[in-house]
């Protein structure tokens, strides 16, 4: 088929099993078989950028459809309704034409790349006329029906880069014509939505197909239009104009030359790429369970869907922690477009405990055990030297702290299982990196399943769901390993003097405190986690601003540890917090309604008599400031 077909930002079709944190969930794709993928797109400029990357990774999937669709941002229109910023569907055919030009080189580097003719045969026009249009079947929706009803029982990842309406229309056709097969299809479909770009998931799929597991990414902004406001300087250099011009745009063939970067050559936006990066098998096993995490993000259960989960309280970190590696990987693919195999770099092969596959390893252990891990046998197809790194991915497991690793940068490593990790899981990630140009990474994941009954997590720790349900009634000062500290001052930012954790706090009318942000009070919101009455009153009364500013004055010269109480009274926000002009919490995710955190401690050396906390980005709810002073180190008491 030719240019008259369309693709709407596709959603990964999800598994219809309720998954408990820490238990393995098979993706269902047979070993050695490529994941089946259908992408739907509304043709926005960032979809077109994502499609360039998608085509450069076309060897990673069994592509079953590239389908044009609409969204709340883009639709074609009809005789009764004007269109909205619609791009003619020929853009995808033009990209495949350029893919055809570089296909011979791509095929040299990996024989699994599909032919241009095959890709053209998978392009269809779906439901494009209006936002959320699912009134009638279309060639695109019928193609989805055909794949979901075929004899292959392996999963089909349905990616919605725009609206979910063409996917919804396909499911409606199955409901109307094949109601007896709805349970079968619910097991087969995996939906990955780049947020909800129309109402068809909420108004139809969620109601009529409750057993389909749906992933919704709200962390896609990590590599979308505002990436340079979100990423750290260390990551930004892999997206800036110099890197993009050298590694992607210039001298890498006609497909890369089509990439619609910003005018200066810097990265524009690929907000839809997480939907397919989630299923690139780099050894992290991210498709096996939404909570595992990988290039497409990490997810937590939220009602009837899996939603983006914060790593280190950063909404975008579950994608950005891999960004340097996946950008280098993309740069290697750009080389593959114009160079023969022997002139390119290729990914190493990571072996874990003698297992050469990419599957997730499950290891049973008792508290106190020393678990031996080995990367012996790992290799590089180009003969490059390899380096090794073992680390614990805390957020992916159910144990709340680090597990010590001896030999973390060696081929052989030993993980000591903490006694308090009983009944928990510990995810250990192996990174094997070559010294080629660009350096490429292979991964393995080993999950240590610790025997015994779970020990209660300490207050303020644990996985997202554990943290939210575990009451906090007592918090101490800074960790002992940071030095000796004494309580200096606490300020209830919108309320009277109060006692918290045995320490007397000032009220908002105290001297030597300045805050002009709006004062609000929401006592009706149920706090998560639950807490004591005094702390709850302090949290519920807060200061709100999109650019908050809180200042303590007349602070004696010395070294201080600073905490801030931040909470969410309704809808999640993402904000960055600075102390004395230095960003100390980048992209802090405020969480679900009622969620609160005491963030910090952040260390500040005061010489000018002030401690200032500011925020940028989303609207911040600050409830309290808690400051501890270093004892010793020349600080007068």
- Banded model confidence at residue 624, pLDDT cuts 50, 70, 90: very high
Burial of 304: CB neighbours in 10 Å, binned 0-12, 13-18, 19+: middle
Residue 18 has pLDDT above 70, yes or no: no
**4-13, 27-36, 345-354, 600-609: range with lowest mean pLDDT:** 4-13
Separation CA 242–CA 257 (nearest Å): 15
Asked if residue 389 belongs to a domain, the reply is: yes
Share of the chain above pLDDT 90, in %: 89
**140-144, 263-267, 617-621: range with lowest mean pLDDT:** 617-621
Q: Where are the beta strands (DSSP E) in 393-484?
A: 405-406, 412-416, 425-434, 441-450
Same domain, 500 and 397: no
Same domain, 321 and 355: no
What residues make up the domain containing 437?
A: 346-455
Same domain, 319 and 368: no
Write down the pLDDT at residue 626: 98
Query: For the domain that residue 93 is a member of, what is the CATH number?
Result: 3.90.245.10
Burial of 524: CB neighbours in 10 Å, binned 0-12, 13-18, 19+: exposed
Q: Are strands 425-434 and 441-450 parallel, antiparallel or unpaired?
A: antiparallel
Encode pLDDT of 453-495 as tens digits: 998 887 777 667 778 888 999 999 999 889 999 999 999 999 9
Which residues on adjacent β-strands are paired with residue 565? Answer: 598, 624
Report the mean per-residue pLDDT for the chain. 93
Query: For the domain that residue 571 is a member of, what is the CATH number?
Result: 2.60.120.430
Domain count, the chain: 3
Residue 8 has pLDDT above 50, yes or no: no
Write down the pLDDT at residue 378: 98
Encode pLDDT of 421-438 as tens digits: 999 999 999 999 999 999
Same domain, 508 and 476: yes
Shortest CA distance to 141 belongs to which of 161, 164, 121? 164
Instruction: Tell me which residue has tokens 């999963």.
Output: 155
Same domain, 570 and 510: yes
Same domain, 310 and 383: no
Q: What is the pTM of this model?
A: 0.85
Shortest CA distance to 350 belongs to which of 322, 366, 328, 373? 373
Which letter does DSSP use for residue 1 in this model?
A: -
Asked if residue 464 belongs to a domain, the reply is: no
Write down the pLDDT at residue 508: 95
Query: For the domain that residue 424 is a member of, what is the CATH number?
Result: 2.60.40.10
Encode pLDDT of 157-216 as tens digits: 999 999 999 999 999 999 999 999 999 999 999 999 999 999 999 999 999 999 999 999
Asked if residue 589 belongs to a domain, the reply is: yes
Shortest CA distance to 371 belongs to which of 430, 403, 415? 415
Same domain, 332 and 190: yes
Q: How many C-alpha atoms does 492 have within 13 Å on its Cβ side?
A: 22
Which residues on adjacent β-strands are paired with residue 311? Answer: 314
Write down the pLDDT at residue 13: 31
Same domain, 350 and 326: no
Q: Are strands 123-125 and 518-521 parallel, antiparallel or unpaired?
A: unpaired
Write down the pLDDT at residue 22: 34
Mean pLDDT, range 595-620, rounded to an integer: 96
Same domain, 551 and 527: yes
Mean pLDDT, range 571-589, rounded to an integer: 93
Asked if residue 206 belongs to a domain, the reply is: yes
């Amino acid at each position: 088929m030719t240019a008259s077909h369309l693709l709407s930002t596709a959603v990964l079709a999800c598994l219809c099993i309720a998954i408990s944190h820490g238990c393995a969930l098979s993706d269902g794709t047979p070993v050695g078989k490529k994941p089946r993928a259908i992408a739907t797109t509304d043709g926005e400029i960032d979809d077109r950028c994502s499609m360039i990357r998608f085509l450069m990774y076309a060897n990673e999937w069994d592509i079953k459809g590239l389908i044009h669709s609409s969204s709340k941002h883009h639709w074609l229109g009809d005789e009764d309704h004007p269109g909205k910023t619609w791009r003619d569907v020929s853009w995808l055919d033009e990209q495949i034409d350029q893919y055809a030009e570089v296909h011979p080189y791509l095929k040299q580097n990996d024989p699994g790349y599909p032919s241009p003719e095959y890709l053209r045969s998978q392009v269809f026009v779906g439901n494009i006329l209006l936002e959320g249009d699912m009134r009638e079947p279309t060639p695109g929706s019928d193609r989805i029906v055909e794949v979901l009803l075929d004899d292959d029982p392996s999963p089909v990842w349905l990616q919605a880069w725009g609206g979910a309406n063409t996917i919804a229309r396909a499911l409606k056709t199955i409901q109307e014509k094949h109601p007896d097969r709805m349970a079968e299809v619910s097991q087969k479909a995996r939906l990955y939505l780049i947020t909800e770009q129309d109402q068809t998931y909420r108004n139809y799929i969620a109601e009529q197909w409750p057993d389909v597991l749906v992933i919704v990414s709200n962390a896609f902004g990590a590599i979308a239009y505002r990436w340079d406001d979100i990423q750290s300087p260390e990551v930004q250099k892999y997206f800036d104009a110099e890197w993009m011009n050298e590694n992607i745009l210039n001298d890498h063939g006609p497909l890369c030359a089509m990439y619609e970067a910003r005018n200066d050559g810097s990265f524009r936006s690929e907000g839809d790429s997480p939907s397919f990066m989630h299923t690139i098998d780099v050894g992290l096993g991210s498709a096996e369970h939404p909570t595992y995490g990988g290039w497409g993000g990490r997810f937590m259960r939220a009602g009837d869907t899996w939603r983006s989960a914060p790593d280190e309280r950063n909404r975008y970190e579950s994608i950005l922690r891999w960004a340097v590696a996946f950008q280098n990987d993309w740069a290697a693919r750009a080389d593959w477009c114009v160079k023969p195999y022997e002139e390119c770099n290729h990914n190493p092969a990571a072996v874990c405990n003698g297992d050469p596959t990419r599957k997730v390893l499950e290891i049973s252990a008792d508290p106190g055990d020393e678990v031996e891990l080995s990367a012996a046998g790992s290799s590089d197809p180009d003969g490059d030297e390899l380096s090794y790194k073992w680390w614990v991915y805390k957020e992916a497991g159910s144990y709340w702290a680090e597990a010590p690793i001896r030999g973390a940068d060696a081929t052989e490593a030993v993980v000591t299982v903490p006694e308090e990790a009983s009944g928990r899981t510990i995810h250990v990630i192996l990174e094997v990196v070559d010294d080629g140009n660009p350096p490429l990474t292979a991964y393995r994941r080993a999950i240590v399943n610790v025997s015994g009954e779970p020990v209660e997590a300490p207050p303020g720790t644990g996985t997202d769901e554990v943290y939210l349900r575990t009451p906090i009634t007592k918090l101490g000062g800074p960790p002992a390993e940071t030095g000796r500290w004494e309580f200096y001052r606490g300020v209830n930012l919108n309320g009277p003097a109060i006692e918290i954790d045995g320490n007397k706090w000032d009220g908002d009318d105290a001297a030597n405190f300045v805050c002009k942000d709006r004062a609000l009070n929401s006592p009706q919101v149920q706090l998560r986690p639950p807490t004591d009455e005094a702390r709850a009153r302090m949290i519920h009364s807060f200061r709100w601003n999109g650019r908050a500013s809180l200042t303590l004055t007349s602070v004696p010269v010395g070294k201080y540890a600073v905490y801030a109480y931040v909470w969410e009274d309704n809808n999640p926000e993402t904000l960055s917090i600075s102390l004395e002009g230095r960003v100390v919490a980048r992209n802090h995710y405020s969480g679900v309604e009622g969620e609160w955190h005491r963030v910090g401690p952040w260390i500040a050396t005061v010489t000018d008599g002030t401690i200032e906390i500011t925020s940028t980005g989303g609207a911040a709810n600050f409830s309290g400031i808690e400051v501890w002073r270093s004892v010793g180190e020349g600080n007068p008491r």
